[in-house]
Copies of this chain bind each other. A is one copy, B any other.
Amino acid sequence: MADKTICPKFESALNILNKRWTGLIIFQLLEGAQRFSTIEATIGISGRVLSERLKDLEKQGIVKRQVYDETPVRIEYALTEKGKALEPVLKSIQKWADGWMEKEKQSFI
C-alpha cells in the first residue's frame, strides 16, 4: 500500500484494460462505430455495465458518442484517435492468444 515504483502512466493505462469488458468493447469498436444494443448483444455485457463503461471510456477520451438526428435517433459509439491507438495492444494480445492459449486445455479461472 506504500512504495509504488511503477510508472504511473503505465499503471493508469493498465487500470483501463484491467476493468472487465473494456478490452472487448474497444476490440469491437476497432471494427467501426457501433450502436449500444449491438455491442451489448455481441460481447454479452449487461446494459447496466455497458452504459457505465462507455461513460468511463468517453471521459477518458477513448470513445466518442455520436448522435445522428434521424428518426428514430441513432446513437453510435466510435473510437477516438487515442482509442484507435490501442489497436497494437489488442493485436499483441491476439497474437499471444494464438500462440499460447490453444496449447493446453484451458480451465477458465
Contact = CB atoms under 8 A, between A and B. Distances in A.
Interface of A: 1-7, 9-15, 17-24, 27-28, 41-44, 56, 59-61, 82, 85-86, 88-89, 91-102, 104, 106-109
Contact of A101 (B12, B24, B99, B101): B12
A68 to B, nearest CB: 24
Q: Say whether chain A's binding surface is mostly helix, strand, loop, or mixed.
A: helix
Contacts of A21: 18
Contacts of A82: 100
A86 to B, nearest CB: 6
A-B pairs, top 9 by smallest CB distance, nearest first, are A13-B97, A9-B101, A9-B97, A14-B23, A89-B92, A92-B92, A10-B97, A82-B100, A88-B92
